[in-house]
Amino acid sequence: MGQPTGDEHDGPLVPFLLAGPPPDRTRWEGWQQWRAGRGSFSPAPRLSMAEYQGLSPRRRALHDLHRTATHVNLRLQETPMSRKVSDLMRGRLQNNAVKLSPGTRDGLMISGGGFQGKTETACWAAAEFEDLWRGIHRQFAPGQTPGTRDVFVPVAYCRLPVRATPKALCKTILDVYGDPHPATLHDLVRSVRDAVRDHCTTALLIDDITRLRLHRGDDQDTLDLIRELMDLNVTLVLIGVDIPRSGLLRGAHADPRTGQRAFPAAGHRDAAATQTGRRFDLVNLDPFGYSTPAGITAFLEHLAGIEDQLRLLRAAAGMLTAGDMPEYLFRRTHGIVGLLRRLIEDGCAKAIATGEERLTPGLLAGTAIRLGNLDGLDPDAGEVPDIPEDVIPPEPKKKRRPRNTVFDDHGDRSAG
Ligand SMILES: Nc1ncnc2c1ncn2[C@@H]1O[C@H](COP(=O)(O)OP(=O)(O)OP(=O)(O)O)[C@@H](O)[C@H]1O
Ligand SMILES: [Mg+2]
């Protein structure tokens, strides 16, 4: 090739690209693959402009690809809001898992607006629990996996299909295990019970639970079914948009002592039969706030964490955290992590494509937040958040408060 960098000889060129599609977490194999590989993405190296320009054209193109991959694979950062949810969930899963008596386990409902990180927060907390749980099982039964006849699936994660029926919910759960679907609802329910027991599942996560349309007869049955699932020695984690307004808590009363929601036992059929109802904690995953110092600090820390992962060649320190930028980003996204991430992703793509190589309010002003892949969402269930429009970027030159300009880019490094 005649290139001094020895393109063909220094290791795999695209180690950051997945072979094949991303794992499907709603099948146990995919969940295991995701759990094992989560957080293992290696970001592009940080190069100075001079180092970048010293690369061969081919290397430069690959580096750009790696930078792009880095920007669309930003890591999950803990926020005060996500910590609250994951601490509660891990604690609940662990407590329930070590409970020896059979019977109903307290469940957990995770509510919040669309795109606020409910799914990711819950999946990561469940994966951490599973890491721990598998470790314990290895210690107590080395060389032997519980449920040897069947695969050990301590965590089952599934998503409710749009307009779910009881049958559809059962099939969705059976699909996690790859089990066949019997024809009748009765047999389906029995298969689900068997699967959960045989695979030693201790946590059953049902995402997008608010896709139930509770005014329809089907959904009342689905709800009864979900409540019955709580009797399977399994911790039920229900995740959805604005659960309190969804009708899902209908018939439940708030227990002032524990703050939990308690359902009468066994749904509407024998509601009066016993006092031991099914109990859920309801926890909300909130967006960032900008009205208190603590809220602003948390947002700034999140932005600093994002900034640290960006690989733009003319980025100055404080690109996202200094001056008017934080407030502008907040107004663009209303503090919703998912929207912020999308804006940053698209902004970075534009910054690379145009050669601007840094994010500014001006560049972001021309970047619309697009939620691609909308067919995966159910707008009727509130899964598509309102995206603020017509947010005017701050004047570039106006300085509202004195700030440290040591790190500012004065434009003396040229893009070539
Ligand atoms: N703590 C976080 N740090 C960084 N990115 C995050 C965080 N939480 C969520 N995200 C990102 O925000 C986006 C939305 O997250 P997620 O899909 O978990 O939200 P959701 O509340 O489940 O949305 P929906 O209502 O559409 O189901 C994802 O791209 C996710 O990676
Ligand atoms: Mg989700």
**Residue type for 355, please?**
G
| 345: enclosing H helix or E strand | helix 337-354
Q: Order of strands across the sheet with 155-159? A: 155-159, 203-207, 235-241, 107-112, 278-285, 261-263, 253-254
Mean pLDDT of 381-402: 73
Do 28 and 153 meet the contact criterion of CB atoms below 8 Å apart? yes
**How do residues 276-298 score in pLDDT, each as one tens digit?**
567 889 999 999 999 999 999 99
> Cα-Cα-Cα-Cα dihedral of 49, 51, 52, 56, to 10°?
150
Chain-centre distance of CA 195, in angstroms? 26
Q: Is 378 in the pocket of ligand 1 (CB under 6 A)?
A: no
Q: Is 120 in the pocket of ligand 1 (CB under 6 A)?
A: yes
Mean pLDDT of 38-43: 90
Residue in 12, 21, 65 with CA at minimum distance from that of residue 43: 65
Residue in 217, 31, 19, 252 with CA at minimum distance from that of residue 134: 31
Q: Is the pLDDT of residue 111 over 60?
A: yes
Determine the Cα–Cα distance for residues 360 and 396; give it in Å rounded to an integer.
9
Query: 118-136 in b/e burial notation, b at 16+ Cβ within 10 A?
Result: bbebbbbbbbbbbeebbee
* pTM for this prediction: 0.86
Determine the Cα–Cα distance for residues 44 and 205; give it in Å rounded to an integer.
34
Give residue 27 CA to ligand 2 midpoint distance, Å: 16
SS3 107: strand
Q: Is the pLDDT of residue 211 over 70?
A: yes
Ligand closest to Cα of 81 equals: 1
Confidence of residue 348 (pLDDT cuts 50, 70, 90): very high
Which of 119, 309, 371, 383 to mutate to test ligand 1, by most ligand atoms within 8 A of the CB atom? Answer: 119
Nearest atom within ligand 1 for CA of residue 115: 23
Nearest CA to ligand 1 atom 8: 117
Confidence of residue 374 (pLDDT cuts 50, 70, 90): low
Q: Is 301 in the pocket of ligand 1 (CB under 6 A)?
A: no
SS3 230: coil
Ligand closest to Cα of 383 equals: 1
Confidence of residue 149 (pLDDT cuts 50, 70, 90): low
294 phi and psi, to 5 degrees?
A: -65, -40
Strand partners, 158: 206
Nearest atom within ligand 1 for CA of residue 306: 4
User: How many C-beta neighbours within 10 Å does residue 313 have?
Assistant: 22
Determine the Cα–Cα distance for residues 156 and 149; give it in Å rounded to an integer.
18
Q: Is 210 in the pocket of ligand 1 (CB under 6 A)?
A: no
pLDDT of residue 2: 39
pLDDT of residue 414: 41
Give residue 339 CA to ligand 1 midpoint distance, Å: 9
Rank 136-145, 216-225, 402-411 by mean pLDDT and report only the highest: 216-225
| 283: enclosing H helix or E strand | strand 278-285
Q: Is 286 in the pocket of ligand 1 (CB under 6 A)?
A: no
pLDDT of residue 85: 96
**How do residues 233-257 score in pLDDT, each as one tens digit?**
899 999 999 998 887 887 788 888 8
- Residue 404 vs residues 322, 323, 398: alpha-carbon distances, Å: 9, 9, 15
In sign, the C-alpha dihedral spanning 213, 216, 221, 224 is: positive
